[in-house]
């Protein structure tokens, strides 16, 4: 996440494009969330303190994680929409990349949480592999953009 954030920040600086700055901040948040386990802790807190999530039983934690992620995801979505420009092909590519990342990240994380309930340890491997693939794709994309910027500067 850190490498992607730095690459996106570099693209934002070189191109003067706020969308890439938002993407950089989003990847820094993902890094912070992974390091501090923010969504896992929020899921536990919501399950322990709100009847709606507690009523879901074993799924309460997983649903709490998803509910928590809607908050920073909502802010990110507003910032991304506000900074995007129609007709900019790169902005469309970023939307697709973030859509794949969100689907893989949230979907696989939810499956992993559900797998923990039913003691299916293989879902952790699937989650990690899927996230690794998507982050590798994002890294390759931002490396390619950075190289294109360097080539056009010459």
Rg (CA), the chain: 17
pLDDT per residue as tens digits for the range 123-150: 878 888 888 898 999 999 999 999 999 8
The better pLDDT of the pair 129, 115 is held by 129
pLDDT per residue as tens digits for the range 18-65: 899 999 999 999 899 989 989 889 988 988 998 988 888 878 888 888
The contacts of residue 127 (CB under 8 Å, 6+ apart) are: 108, 109, 111, 112
pLDDT above 70: percentage of residues in the chain: 99
Kindly report the pTM of this predicted structure. Answer: 0.84
Give the DSSP per-residue string, the chain: -HHHHHHHHHHHHHHT-HHHHHHHHHHHHHHHHHHHTHHHHHHHHHHHH-HHHHTTGGGHHHHHHHHHHHHHHHHHHHHHHHH--TT-HHHHHHHHHHHHHHHHHHHHHHHHHHHHHTT-THHHHHHHHHHHHHHHHHHHHHHHHHHHHHHHH-
């Amino acid at each position: 996440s850190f490498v992607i954030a730095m690459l996106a920040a570099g693209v934002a600086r070189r191109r003067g494009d706020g969308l890439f700055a938002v993407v950089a901040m989003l990847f820094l948040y993902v890094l912070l969330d992974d390091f501090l386990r923010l969504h896992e802790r929020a899921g536990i807190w919501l399950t322990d303190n709100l009847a709606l999530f507690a009523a879901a039983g074993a799924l309460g934690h997983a649903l709490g994680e998803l509910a928590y992620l809607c908050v920073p995801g909502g802010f990110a979505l507003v910032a991304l929409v506000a900074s995007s420009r129609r007709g900019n092909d790169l902005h469309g590519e970023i939307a697709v990349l973030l859509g794949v990342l969100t689907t893989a990240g949230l979907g696989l994380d939810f499956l992993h949480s559900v797998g923990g309930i039913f003691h299916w340890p293989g879902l952790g491997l699937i989650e990690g592999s899927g996230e690794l693939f998507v982050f590798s794709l994002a890294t390759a994309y931002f490396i390619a953009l950075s190289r294109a910027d360097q080539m056009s500067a010459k």
